[in-house]
Amino acid sequence: MSELLTHEEYKAIADGLTLASTAFVDGGFRKAASGGTFDSIDPATGKLLAKVAACDAADVDFAVGKAREAFDDGRWRCLHPAERKEVLIKLAKLIRRNRHELAVLESLDSGKPVRDCATIDIPETINTLIWHAEAIDKLYDQTAPVGEDAVALVVREPIGVVGAVLPWNFPLLMLAWKIGPALAAGCSMLVKPAEQTSLSALRVAELAMEAGVPRGVLNIVTGTGPGAGEPIGLHPGIDMVSFTGSTETGRRFLRYAADSNLKKVVLECGGKNPAIVMDDAENLDLVAEHLVNGAFWNMGENCSATSRLIVHEDVREALMPKILARVRDWRMGDPLDPSNHLGSLIDDEHCAKVSGYLADAGKGVETLVGGTVEGNYVAPTIFDGVAADSRLATEEIFGPVLSVITVKASRRPSPSPMTAITALPPRSSRRMPAARCGPRAPSVPAR
């Protein structure tokens, strides 16, 4: 299912794509009420892919009304669980059938290597939908212990209309993470993809209709954060918001909930994650493999990226050459070439931000590899001699940058307000009483 095509085959698919570029509401495509659009740009080439509908509060309000109508009349939530399961499994099968098109679309829209889209993102999207579909008829209600004259039931019910706001680093997979559980539960949805990567969500909405998801149940509202994201957070007709993105924006959604209907808010925000290699580390080849994968996979545009290496001085000299050798094996170039491991960063603005960190490395910091920028391509970069309290060590860069901090004794890593993941050799992990640890792992969700 995850077989790769050739570079020429992927380019041919790209040339033949027909791109949807308007919002998808109540079972059909519609322009923004204002008629406004924004440009969707291929970050690898700078070419215009599409002019996408710039939805605003009026569009959000219309979509919420259609989602509420669909929820209240029960066209989805009142279906037999087996029927909802069948529809979600059919959607997963349609994604599988269209996997090459979706992999190319995802790569063009985000700059991600098509090899990752085809072998990781698409298969995991399918698996996520199937997992939640299979859970539909396997999660049971509960009874509570009461006296003989009563029966107490704990019943699982859909929360209502769910607003989902997606990031740009894993557009399809994060879409599946949001719609999988919400649709399985019987909710109606309003999804706002990141403005940089709207196209794959629109295509999946089409496939969802083909699979049998009723109109009004899955609505895609395209637009910017201030234009469409904020109205979703503030709308009183939305019962829950699920957001994945920056910590700063996550705080905004908590404020939006407080300023509106106290809707439930679920957040997955940023991280500044250390890998800690102590003096008892074994199999340094495997350690190097995990570190390079954790730091540079997806161009480091990953909230669980390994962005800090805290290494004991006794193993540093043996480990660093192994890391550098592996980094030099990673090819960077055209995202549609399946032989490339690294594509471009998401856009000019983000590339400038990452480039700023490269320029601000400071005195005493040595660039072991990388440090170059061409267009939106940033070479995988390793800095040595990084101070534990520097910006490189404490701020989320969200790019292909690994900061090396050498320590002389076993001690806890320097604090960062954004640490989400810690990876450790197995025996050392027991020395970290307050850490969330992933022994022998490049990144482990730890929220």
Q: Measure the CA–CA gap between 355 and 357, rounded to whole angstroms.
A: 5
Instruction: With beta carbons less than 8 A apart as the criterion, state whether 30 and 22 touch.
Output: yes
Nearest to 21 by CA among 190, 200, 171, 172: 200
Q: Which helix (H) or strand (E) segment is 307 a member of? A: strand 306-312
Q: Measure the CA–CA gap between 432 and 437, rounded to whole angstroms.
A: 8
Angle at 77 between CA 72 and CA 79, to 5 degrees: 125
Q: Measure the CA–CA gap between 144 and 136, rounded to whole angstroms.
A: 22
Q: Is 268 a catalytic residue?
A: yes
Q: Is 303 a catalytic residue?
A: yes
Instruction: Given the residues 106, 195, 230, 268, select the one marked as catalytic.
Output: 268
Q: Measure the CA–CA gap between 439 and 160, rounded to whole angstroms.
A: 39
Instruction: With beta carbons less than 8 A apart as the criterion, state whether 41 and 198 touch.
Output: no
Instruction: With beta carbons less than 8 A apart as the criterion, state whether 384 and 368 touch.
Output: yes
Instruction: Given the residues 303, 351, 396, 437, select the one marked as catalytic.
Output: 303
Q: Given the structure tokens 């607003």, which residue do they identify?
A: 163
Residues linked to residue 89 through DSSP beta bridges, in sequence order = none
Which residue numbers are catalytic?
Answer: 268, 303
